[in-house]
Chains A and B, each alone.
Chain A
Amino acid sequence: MGVDLSVQIGALTLANPLIAASGCFGYGVEYAEAVDLSTLGGVAVKGLFLKEREGHPPERIVETPSGMLNAIGLQGIGVHRFVREKLPELRQLGATVIVNICGSTLDEYVELARILSDAEGVAALELNISCPNIKEGGITFGCSLHGTFDVVSAVKKVTPLPVIPKLTPNVTDVASFARASEDAGADAVSLVNTFLAMAIDVETRRPILSNIVGGLSGPAIRPIAVRMVYECRRAVKIPVVGMGGIASARDALEFIIAGATAVQVGTANFVDPFIWGKLLDGITDYMRRHGVERLADLIGTIDTTSREKQWISS
């Protein structure tokens, strides 16, 4: 049985639901030796500001059981160098490029959106309003319903590209932020960014990360992320892009069944840069086993109806 893996994010058709998560895949070109980027549904590149950024001093990551904390501080080359140095190669590699943009101010998001709308080879914009590791901008929009609404609507006014705000889980009710995004005209929402967390070296009593706190990712957060995707799916009509600890086809399917139209994979790619083919094979195999011809038909199919207990008589 042939299966159709394509999914729709606004006007954008992805060949399959697998997107490399921003911040976990460099600018994409770093991974071209491990994976044919054209076989991915999308590549969300590392978050870009207008200007180059230094990022935080080391230590920048620390592992915890089934997870890792990071406080990279959005080190990056800035949008102009990205357009000049990385985008042509991504285009050549056939990647569906989703550019993650970060601003300290609303004007910076607008300016980034303008620049990237004029650049050749950008498929969509993901608005980083959720990085827990930097003080200025970003999260201040993502933790306020008005801020979220304002930044999404301002960006929508200046770009024809699909706009996907990336939501933080570090709020009381993430679904209300999905609604604010939808009201502002977002084409989709993506979630979750990392959970604000910390780790301490008890021998020295010092925080392990130079930034003291960082964002937790990896399989440890997956059940919370699935719940949040489920809540958002019920709250909005626009597509939800789910992420948080996906490390297998089963994990990806869990998000899709909870309501994710597409999924992003981040931390697992650090462990296995060859994971993408395995995920696609696993999803395809699942669809064949369950007689699902179109992946789109699987989205949000979680069955929450109460059922009689099935007793098996011997």
Chain B
Amino acid sequence: MLRDVEARVIRNTRLSPDYNVIALAAPDIAAATRPGQFVMVKSGRSGDPLLRRPFSVFEVLRSNNGVDGLTLLSKRIGVTTSMLFDAVEGDTISCLGPLGRPFELVDPPAEAWMVAGGVGLAPFATLGDALLARGTKTTLFYGARSGAELFYLDWFRSRGIRLVLSTEDGSLGDRARITVPLERELRDLGSRPVPAVMIYACGPEPMLEAVTHVAARFTCPSQVSVERVMGCGMGGCYSCVIPVRDDAGSESTRPAHHYVRSCIAGPVFRGDALVWD
């Protein structure tokens, strides 16, 4: 059920000079959130910026009392993300959600390969937990500029999620874009009896486009979580549209397409449904 909550900041952890994880007391939203869904956050009461910003729910916080709240993984870029970076315990932040279409989960013997670029890690903590709860073998491919911007590695590792890392400067994992190890492992799969693999991806759009091309080359299904400039998150404004194929499977370089609202038709789409513009 949709809710708008004036959520108290439980804690705010700075991970780097740009990244933070902010915990919000929004238990009802957290309890209703499915992996891949998002919340719309409003910074302060001023008219600049006027609109909310979308954030994937990063973690659902649980204790003996049940669900306590949720966290957001944020990278400081604009006014809202700066507000999230600077917020302190006890502040309140307006939080609307849960919104959007979640990831579809896969069951064993299929494996799940999650591919994250930078702040695109955000939906994969809840997704990883949900997959592990079904016994699905799960790998996280995670790329960033440097090792200092790869976060929560122990969190994922301790749950039994296999990590494959890459950095642009080579300080951790492959010195490459994350699609390089992804492609290598897909190629390696070729020679052995294949458990089907579902690829999940979230990150900058050029990365998502590259991931969907790699997935298509290996005839591997994929689901990607996109982020477009979003006005409302509810399907009201038609700003966050993304082109999808009229008829999935067309061979032309830019197939016939139409715009759909990524807030309600997404943010998660089948990788082969999107037309990259």
Give A contacts to B, CB under 8 Å: 23-26, 30-31, 33-34, 46, 54-55, 57-63, 65-68, 70, 72, 75, 218-220, 267, 269-274
Contact = CB atoms under 8 A, between A and B. Distances in A.
Contacts of B4: 272-274
A260 B277 CA distance: 44
Nearest to B277: A57
8 contacts: A26-B235, A59-B239, A72-B237, A75-B259, A220-B47, A270-B234, A273-B4, A273-B232
B241 A65 contact: no
A67 B235 CA distance: 19
Q: Which 7 A-B pairs have the closest CB atoms?
A: A66-B47, A30-B235, A270-B232, A61-B239, A65-B48, A60-B239, A33-B2
Given A30-B264, A54-B259, A65-B47, A271 B238 contact: no
A67 B229 contact: no
B236 A60 contact: no
Contacts of B47: 65-67, 218-220
Contact of B241 (A34, A58, A70): A58
A194 to B, nearest CB: 13
A271 B50 contact: yes
Contacts of B241: 55, 58, 60, 75
Contacts of B50: 63, 65-68, 218-219, 267, 271
B238 A60 contact: yes
A14 B120 CA distance: 47
Interface residues of B, number: 28
Contacts of B137: none
A78 B233 CA distance: 23
A24 B42 contact: no
A30 B239 CA distance: 15
Contacts of A63: 48-51
B114 interface: no
B258 interface: yes
A57 B236 CA distance: 17
Chain A CB count within 10 A is highest, among B42, B47, B50, for B50
A20 to B, nearest CB: 9
A304 B259 CA distance: 50
B88 to A, nearest CB: 24
Contacts of B242: 58
A31 B49 CA distance: 23
A60 B1 contact: no
B52 interface: yes
Given A33-B2, A65-B48, A272-B4, A72 B277 contact: no
B231 A269 contact: no
